[in-house]
Structure 1
């Protein structure tokens, strides 16, 4: 058994292994998605380790590069994402070996931490390898009790119409002590506009705010899921009223049963009218793993949005 770094010519075999091990499920296993996720990422190409036995790739472990920002401090991070072990090789410790080997490589690169949102099946394994539970992301829900019968349908968002605002957002220094995703040039375009998994739409005045959402079909009806919200210094009461009016119009046109927002900023810091239901800690469960940092990660002032943590 050999553990080695992946090279570009390994991609067809990696995709085949992902399909064999995981199936297609809701996330397609394709070279298009792989390239968007692991090559086009503005934070850098993903580090990938493979397990190979007699020329056959039997295991893959991938971390997605990410950056957070707190004030002027850049925190180098990775998100533990794609992993697959061939069915004939499962139960032999390959997943643990690949994961810990990849962490050792990241130490020499100056990576500070790894984060992810594991499911209940994989959680115990991560905890044994040094991950810690931060907790579940708060979730705010507003039910629309009378779903509109409007025959209108909201038009697909024209992202090119707010290209100047996106540039402005990505070059703004937000005055907050919270740790948030580092909005490097091209991040919003990569994360939301070219994402091959979901179509994202937005509400904006093209000048002072940008709310990003997607419509999700569910068992209890259509959901308008707010994934990110950015506001600039000239966002005021008039802009707040405009935002909420436009949001209600979209809810009606799209026949949305409920609207959700999962993140660490509520109340006055989130000028979106979300009703009287209390905030619930039922969002994605976040785990953290130290790599280069020595301080307690759990106690740091995280400011995640759902866009940072959505499964993709």
Structure 2
């Protein structure tokens, strides 16, 4: 089959086309409305989504998109990308389209000055990213349930890799048209589909002003925490690990350096929260 590969566009027709292919690929996921796709693909103050589409004639056969972000890497602010949405029409699976789209997307990212790609992959997709696309495994995300606040160690709160949230990007992130967030005293939380459980996406504390958002969570005293942060003292926090067999799929943080530095990170050098990707 002779496929045509084109960079992602974010005009109204393209937004509708992307919404349709994502809804068709993930029929049990309700969020991929045109409003959500426009918010995610076009409204990000750091920049629009980049990536590639594969067409067979006029049909969108496969899609791969990366979200621009800023991160502090070894004390320096850099622009990178979050590997986010992948979709392949059932009639076009097994033809290597994702790998082709990914390579074209990374070449485009380098041309546009992005220095890295970060992503969250499940157990099934992680080997493909590592073996076919030269990502490194930066660490496994912890998933915990508990009550109350988490306790922090007295160690210096610095990390080699951490996503940056400035006022503009945080305002955009919290304006998701499909999911209302609750923000109080710097803690970003959201309802989950599980009775009595809320997800704590990020606790900024007093270090960064985050405007309050009063979207009631209902009676959800149990808190879900997902991420990587070795500055948390779990022994002094009333939280416990969720066994892997009770999770939909263990999640892994993966990293690809687009510069010539061949940088790699240990899990202990990374802070990564549920706010930093699209879990909620």
Instruction: State if a TM-score over 0.5 links the two structures.
Output: yes
SS of alignment partner, residue 303 of structure 1: strand
Q: Deviations over 1:232-289 (max 9, x none)?
A: 3699xxxxxxxxxxxxxxx9x9433522333415447x9xx832x4567967321112
- Aligned runs of 1:297-312 on 2, under 5 Å? 297-299=264-266, 301-311=269-279
Aligned to 1:64: 67
Q: Deviations over 1:192-219 (max 9, x none)?
A: 2x11232211222xxxxx111112132x
Q: Does 1:34 pair with 2:34?
A: no
Give the alignment partner of residue 287 of structure 1, picking from 237, 254, 260. 254
Structure 1: gaps spanning 5 or more residues: 145-173, 205-209, 236-250
**Structure (1 or 2) with the larger CA radius of gyration:** 1
Q: Is 290-299 or 280-289 further displaced after alignment?
A: 280-289
C-alpha displacement at 1:117, in angstroms? 1.2
C-alpha displacement at 1:34, in angstroms? 0.8
Quickly say closer, same or farther: Cα 1:281–1:105, change in 2 above 3 A: farther
CA distance in structure 2 between the partners assigned to 1:20 and 1:47 by the alignment: 21
Aligned to 1:121: 124
Quickly say closer, same or farther: Cα 1:28–1:125, change in 2 above 3 A: same
Structure 2: gaps spanning 5 or more residues: 149-155, 210-215, 245-249
**TM-score if structure 1 supplies the norm length?**
0.71
Quickly say closer, same or farther: Cα 1:222–1:111, change in 2 above 3 A: same
- Cα pair 1:140 1:274 within 8 Å, conserved: no
CA distance in structure 1 between the partners assigned to 2:51 and 2:207 by the alignment: 40
Quickly say closer, same or farther: Cα 1:30–1:130, change in 2 above 3 A: same
Aligned to 2:177: 196
Q: Deviations over 1:20-64 (max 9, x none)?
A: 3332x2342221111111111122111131112223221211111
Give the alignment partner of residue 141 of structure 1, picking from 136, 145, 161. 145
SS of alignment partner, residue 91 of structure 1: coil
Aligned to 2:58: 55
Q: Is 76-85 or 119-128 further displaced after alignment?
A: 119-128
CA distance in structure 2 between the partners assigned to 1:234 and 1:15 by the alignment: 34
CA distance in structure 1 between the partners assigned to 2:277 and 2:260 by the alignment: 21
Quickly say closer, same or farther: Cα 1:230–1:106, change in 2 above 3 A: same
- Cα pair 1:138 1:281 within 8 Å, conserved: no
CA RMSD of aligned residues (A): 3.1
**TM-score if structure 2 supplies the norm length?**
0.78
CA distance in structure 2 between the partners assigned to 1:279 and 1:87 by the alignment: 36
- Cα pair 2:139 2:266 within 8 Å, conserved: no
Aligned to 2:237: 274
C-alpha displacement at 1:175, in angstroms? 7.5
Aligned to 1:149: none
Q: Is 50-59 or 278-287 further displaced after alignment?
A: 278-287
- Cα pair 2:75 2:160 within 8 Å, conserved: no
Quickly say closer, same or farther: Cα 1:199–1:18, change in 2 above 3 A: same
Q: Deviations over 1:57-94 (max 9, x none)?
A: 21211111111024751122111111212221111111
Q: Is 59-68 or 283-292 further displaced after alignment?
A: 283-292
Quickly say closer, same or farther: Cα 1:298–1:215, change in 2 above 3 A: same
- By percentage of residues, which structure has more strand? 2
Query: How many residue pairs are counted as aligned between the two chains?
Result: 255
C-alpha displacement at 1:293, in angstroms? 4.9
C-alpha displacement at 1:2, in angstroms? 1.1
- Aligned runs of 1:217-228 on 2, under 5 Å? 217-218=193-194, 221-228=195-202
